[in-house]
Copies of this chain bind each other. A is one copy, B any other.
């Protein structure tokens, strides 16, 4: 049994909730998927195993996970207003979004802490969390765009 499923089971038990087959399926997909699916994408994947699964169930499960802090929700500026769900556990991590192919690369930095401190000190606010989004061309798209524009390979 994977991390998310057992975490969730525990919480469900403690609050009189029930571990259903739908939840187990969604959780195991979320846990193993190295991506940030939308609710719809998650549904499509899950339906390969449970064709009757409903989109409302997907949303309800994701919202519950969100409330339990087991997934976080992001609205990358993709022109779309669709939410993406990130099952990565508490560790703070950030996202690079390729403006060409929309792929997301996660990254880490310890500089955010400095930024938090900087802002706290200058403003008097208290900062809990923060996130960074970078936009640009991923290595592949960058390569392609250089080849296209110059006919040359990247070194």
A residues adjacent to B (C-beta < 8 A): 73-75, 77, 81, 83, 96, 98-99, 105, 107, 109, 111-112, 114-116, 118-119, 122-139, 142
A127: contacting residue among B109, B112, B119, B135, CB under 8 A: B135
Task: Name the B residues within 8 Å of A119 (CB-CB).
Answer: 96, 107, 109, 134
A116: contacting residue among B73, B122, B124, B134, CB under 8 A: B134
Smallest CB gap from A105: residue in B? B123
Q: Report whether B130 and A133 are in contact in the complex, using a CB–CB cutoff of 8 Å.
A: yes
Q: How far is the CA of A125 from the CA of B134 in the complex (A)?
A: 10
A85 to chain B, nearest CB (A): 12
Q: How far is the CA of A123 from the CA of B94 in the complex (A)?
A: 14
If A96-B127, A123-B107 touch, whether A73 touches B81 (CB-CB below 8 Å) is: no
